[in-house]
Amino acid sequence: MSRPRYVLVDRDGTINAEIRGEYVLEAERMILMPGVAEGLRDLQQTGLRVAVVTNQSPVGRRWIDEHQLEEIHRRMLDLLAEAEVEIDGIYVCPHRPDEGCSCRKPQPELALRAAAELGFSSQEAFVVGDKDSDIEMGRRIGATTILVLTGQGRAALEKGVRPDHVAADLREAATIIRGLIEQEA
């Protein structure tokens, strides 16, 4: 039996809107961006599984606690479930950037933990995100990287980040991934 293939997706700026660049600190502010549910559903119909890998420094900054973060994620999962999308896991770094932890993207710890727990090869995975830290994490685990131009994606591209592929949004990223899988077959 072959191992499942995974897409590791960033949260803020990739799945949900960042309203005026602010963090999502309340569950009701969790709003999916247009095309996200369709893109994730397309990935799953292609036979891929999905996990979320996200830095959440508001926890470390004590702007929200773990329970509030769980409520935010519960709303995200509920919104996606309404669109018939299933997320296999959410992997979170709760630390501030200045803490020097080993789990904050671009460090590979969260992605490698997801691979170990969910039983997939990181080298066969895809990483989709809007920041240079997402792309660098993907590189460090040997995954195929896709930068979406939502959230901070355009700024990351202007700073010189070099992903394997660039997509307008998560829906287009799903189309790219489907094409890559078809080429492999």
Active site residues: 10, 12
End-to-end CA distance of the chain: 17
Distance CA 85, CA 121 (A): 22
Distance CA 156, CA 147 (A): 9
Contact 141, 122 (CB under 8 A): yes
Residue 42 DSSP symbol: H
Contact 12, 93 (CB under 8 A): no
Contact 105, 136 (CB under 8 A): yes
Residue 16 DSSP symbol: B
Residues 6+ positions from 156 with CB-CB distance below 8 Å: 130, 131, 132, 135, 147
